[in-house]
A and B are shown apart, each in its own frame.
Chain A
Amino acid sequence: MISSTLSIHAWFKRKQKEKETPYVRERLDIPGNLWVKCYKCGQAIFNKELEDNLKVCPKCGYHFKLSANERIKQLTDNGSFKEIDPNIQSKDFLNFTDSKPYGKRIIETVAKSLLKDAIVCGTAKIGGQGAALGIMDFSFMGGSMGSVVGEKIARLIELAIEKKLPVIIFAASGGARMQEGIMSLMQMAKTSAALGRLRENGLPYIAICTDPTTGGTSASFAMLGDINLAEPGALICFAGPRVIEQTIRQKLPPGFQRSEYLLQHGMLDIVCERKQLKETLTKILGWFNEK
């Protein structure tokens, strides 16, 4: 399912390998040990080997989640990334408390993740070509979109208009940040409005869905690319599989809402393996940049 070229042996083994791991069991925090167990095929992988392979399982091709910084390192030309708006931070304006107060949750997450919120934005060069780049990080509160993510994306797009740059955004998000209530919904409007303006200015936007891209993110900027890309096997949906199962009380078909399924249904242009991503983006940017 992941790799298009399967050997005969792999084909026979496929059945047991392809058992889908439920989405909930996936975690970004890979233990800092020598060995890592692949979430999909369950095989032990030497950590160094996994890093060298861009965090894609060398055995089954499963794409591990990347942090924003790992993504920047893998994708952008050496030292070309210049971050913008690094200091915008979330605020608990509703006095929202679930299992702990939102304000406390922000402080703890910032300390743990060394990120200020769930997206890192900046300008960079990819294959020698300039772009405005936004990269979401799932490890920060499930990549949820609140005021900060919305604001940073809007500013990124406005900067791109000013500097006449194409925009590339990597989505990795569980959806809206419920702790910000209605304001998280309004970020969908804000980011989509900014993309409308980008389009009026004749600048391209490339959206890249990574695992997972759901809810408020998919129903706004993540699905609005002139070109929509996705990494293999990513969960991309409006409503999550559990919500749908509870609504319709049926088992969902295998592969439902994964990248390959969306490609089949016309929602994506390309499902692109991580090792080909830089080259593909370089080609696409090159096409747009020709004067």
Chain B
Amino acid sequence: MKNKESSDFNNLTPLQIVQIARQIQRPTTLDYINCIFTDFVELHGDRNFGDDPALVAGLAKLDGCSVAVMGHQKGKSTKENLARNFGMANPEGYRKALRIMRIAERNHKPIISLIDTPGAYCGIGAEERGQAEAIAKNLREMTELTIPFVTVITGEGGSGGALGIGMGNRVLMLEYSIYSVISPEGCASILFRDAKRANDAALAMKITAPDLLKLGVIDEIIKEPPGGAHNDVQQSASNIKSAIIKHLGPLLSLSQRELIADRYNKFRKMGFFSE
């Protein structure tokens, strides 16, 4: 039985991986923060409009060292998901994240961001308060940070909503997570004019960890326990922790200038074209 299960797991279609990444039992950002970090102090609010429960951020210690940590927060039940807006952040979430990134930078502490969102929230309030501007500003400011920055995609990496806190010097990705410019359903309904063709869209867009590694968008795939991260949260957290520490190490010895150049070059070279 176990053998069958593991061989089935080796042959997952991209859409099946999407389903694992979205599973309601999948560990959330706060689950990981509790397992990976100590002395977590959650901070709230963007100092402009409000606090966003869909994106949590704060101070923590990683192996005894001070870091800033942030990530999208989904719920484990419908009620909790309503309170967390299904992990879809509003502009104030992105502005809170930036505020805390700046605190980390002023105090020379590394930043760890955990990505798990269907996307940035699409609503009237979000538009009124400048969702586009909030994300755009984060993208620009993240490239200027003078401290080491590691991003881990733990579930759904939903487009601009994911990238809005996801421009680390290193971007790591759990085995059964996804990272995409649009949801497979969205892509199917726009390009194939049929949302039911999500399977084709998921396949065509190359959204799984091995594909993204090949494209150079991520730096490493983090193994998940058999059957997926939710089967053993501790194990999964410990894999993430070692990967973060492994990638943070070399970054700690870089100068501020080198860190900025490292991040600039990483994103500058992305893209394929002919000339």
Near B by CB (< 8 A), chain A positions 140-196 give 146-148, 150-151, 154, 176, 178-190, 192-196
A98-B192 in contact (CB<8A): yes
Please give 11 more A-B residue pairs, beta carbons under 8 A apart, in addition to A85-B275, A257-B127: A91-B272, A182-B179, A190-B271, A193-B140, A199-B140, A216-B181, A219-B164, A220-B139, A238-B132, A244-B123, A267-B133
A185-B206 in contact (CB<8A): no
A178-B190 in contact (CB<8A): yes
Contacting residues, chain A, for B130 (C-beta < 8 A): 223, 265-267
Interface centre among B180, B204, B273 (most CB of A within 10 A): B273
A256 to B124, CA, bound (A): 9
A178-B144 in contact (CB<8A): no
A256-B136 in contact (CB<8A): no
Interface of B is mostly: helix
Give a binary string over A182-219; 1 marks a CB under 8 Å from any B CB, 0 the rest: 11111111101111110110000000000000011011
17 contacts between A and B (CB under 8 A): A94-B205, A96-B204, A147-B272, A178-B181, A178-B191, A180-B272, A181-B180, A182-B181, A182-B205, A185-B159, A189-B163, A197-B143, A199-B140, A218-B132, A220-B136, A224-B140, A239-B126
If the complex has contacts A94-B205, A150-B271, A220-B136, are A238 and B182 also in contact, measured as CB distance less than 8 A? no
**Minimum C-beta distance from A71 to chain B (A):** 22
Near A by CB (< 8 A), chain B positions 170-209 give 179-182, 187, 190-192, 204-207
B140-A192 in contact (CB<8A): yes
**Minimum C-beta distance from B19 to chain A (A):** 19
Contacting residues, chain A, for B159 (C-beta < 8 A): 176, 185, 216
Task: Choose from B124, B187, B272, B275 the contact partner of A183 (Cβ within 8 Å).
Answer: B272
A89-B274 in contact (CB<8A): yes
By a beta-carbon cutoff of 8 Å, the part of chain B in contact with chain A is 120, 122-124, 126-133, 135-137, 139-141, 143-144, 159-160, 163-164, 167, 179-182, 187, 190-192, 204-207, 212, 215, 217, 263-264, 267-268, 270-275
Give a binary string over A235-257; 1 marks a CB under 8 Å from any B CB, 0 the rest: 01111000110011010110011
Interface centre among B128, B164, B181 (most CB of A within 10 A): B181
**Minimum C-beta distance from A216 to chain B (A):** 6
A91-B273 in contact (CB<8A): yes
Task: Choose from A184, A188, A252 the contact partner of B124 (Cβ within 8 Å).
Answer: A252
Please name the residue on chain A nearest to B212 by beta carbon: A182
If the complex has contacts A98-B191, A218-B132, are A182 and B271 also in contact, measured as CB distance less than 8 A? no
Interface size class of A (residues with CB under 8 A): 35 or more
Contacting residues, chain B, for A194 (C-beta < 8 A): 268
A134 to B129, CA, bound (A): 27
Contacting residues, chain B, for A248 (C-beta < 8 A): 123-124
A158 to B127, CA, bound (A): 31
A256-B271 in contact (CB<8A): no
B217-A238 in contact (CB<8A): no
Task: Choose from B143, B181, B190, B217 the contact partner of A192 (Cβ within 8 Å).
Answer: B143
Give a binary string over A70-101; 1 marks a CB under 8 Å from any B CB, 0 the rest: 00000000000000010111110110111100
A138 interfacial by beta-carbon distance below 8 Å: no
A97-B204 in contact (CB<8A): yes
Task: Choose from A91, A96, A193, A199 the contact partner of B267 (Cβ within 8 Å).
Answer: A193
If the complex has contacts A98-B192, A182-B207, A238-B131, are A176 and B273 also in contact, measured as CB distance less than 8 A? no
**Minimum C-beta distance from A68 to chain B (A):** 18
Task: Choose from A88, A154, A181 the contact partner of B274 (Cβ within 8 Å).
Answer: A88
